[in-house]
Structure 1
Amino acid sequence: VLGGAENIQSLEACITRLRLTVKDDTIIDDDKLKKLGATGVMRMGKNALQVIVGTKADLIAQEMKKHMKKAGGKI
């Protein structure tokens, strides 16, 4: 959906959104993100996007960071 841990360069939570910087934005699947519960995806530039997930954004970001570390990600 996001291209795996190797595609994510940065990940932060901001109240109701996940703010991401990715290496390749062409592999981001907006429709699958929405099927997983995101209410929207905003593209903020070539490699930056925000995924609107509601008030659980911080919890989701923490869990994503744990999984990314296990997968060898730098975050």
Structure 2
Amino acid sequence: MRDKALRYIEALGGRENIREIDGCITRLRATLVDPSKVDEAKLRAAGMIGRPVRMGNGIQIVVGTHAELIATEINKILRGG
């Protein structure tokens, strides 16, 4: 799961670009510093389903039923774990 989380971090513009991220049933929901840094090709390569939904500095990415696990791992990484 760590490798997948690292791919999503990179696709979202890196650690410094992610203000907050959480997972719901099938989506990652993130608040970003600069949404223009998101790389959709990298999101698809990481496993995104469909297209991201962008709202201001927020983005929602459908990743499947393991969204909460990915978000938990991303948050561990962002905290230095």
TM range, smaller chain: 0.7 to 0.9
Two-structure CA RMSD over aligned residues (Å):
1.2
Aligned residues: 70
TM-score, normalised with respect to structure 2: 0.80
- The equivalent of 1:42 in structure 2 is 53
TM-score, normalised with respect to structure 1: 0.86
Deviation of 1:65 after TM superposition, in Å, equals 0.6
4+ residue segments displaced more than 3 Å: none
| TM-superposition CA deviations, 1:4-39 (whole Å, max 9, x none) | 111111111110000000010001011110111110
Q: Residue type of the partner of 1:49?
A: I
- The equivalent of 2:37 in structure 1 is 27
Q: Residue type of the partner of 2:53?
A: M
Q: Unaligned 5+ residue runs, structure 1?
A: none
Counterpart Cα distance in 2 of 1:70 and 1:9: 14
Task: Looking at secondary structure, tell me which structure has more helix per residue.
Answer: 2
Q: Unaligned 5+ residue runs, structure 2?
A: 1-10
Q: Residue type of the partner of 2:21?
A: L
Counterpart Cα distance in 1 of 2:21 and 2:46: 18
- The equivalent of 2:64 in structure 1 is 54
